[in-house]
Amino acid sequence: MTPAILIVDDHPLFRRGVRQLLEMDPALAVAGEAADGEAALEAAVRLEPALILMDMNMARLDGLGALKALREADVEARIVMLTVSDAEEDVVAALRAGADGYLLKDMEPEDLLAAIKEAAEGQMAISPRLAGLLARALSGPRAAPGEDVLASLTAREGEILRALARGMSNKLIARRLTISEGTVKVHVRNLLKKLGLRSRVEAAVWAVNHDLG
């Protein structure tokens, strides 16, 4: 099934450009467009896209506010921020609020398209030049999990942590381990609590830094 993508941005010209880029690849489809966060909420419920590409800075309801609202509304689409902001606080806030990726608008078109395809397939999508920033930010002032925390994880939690390190979505993890998505969510919640982290992306970065990928 071709993943349908919702484009959320307050600049019509940019939305058109992204649409044209996506339409170049037959493996992707455009579900629709929205010009701000409030419109994104309505469109996400109505269109049920597989992936939402969303800007951070928009009128009425910005990307971060819309992201939180979409997650609170249990919208199942993967959500990737596509923005000009490479500020550490924006990147970390978005990922901790539940974004499945963070891409910059100044990426080369072919690199952006490749990252979007990876996101649509269930992988974590992060602009390459943000990787170092993210690793530093997530190992910043808040204490990182101790080395002995791995011993507290069950075998299944360890498997899921390694899957997170590879950027896999709950759906892909469930398929790989032949368990339900609901069971995956429970395991993710438990391992985040044990690790003392707040998001799957933080867990993924921590796991990669500990060679668990």
CATH class of 141-209: mainly alpha
Query: For the chain, what are the domain ranges?
Result: 4-137, 141-209
pLDDT of residue 20: 97
| Residue 142 predicted with pLDDT over 50 | no
| Other Cβ atoms closer than 10 A to 164 | 27
For Cα atoms 7, 4, 165, give the angle at the middle one, nearest 5 degrees.
90
Q: What is the CATH number of domain 4-137?
A: 3.40.50.2300
Q: What is the pLDDT of residues 58-85, one digit of tens each?
A: 988 999 999 999 989 989 899 999 999 9
Q: Could you tell me if 163 and 183 are in contact, meaning their C-beta atoms sit under 8 angstroms apart? A: no
CB-count exposure of residue 20 (10 Å: 0-12, 13-18, 19+): exposed
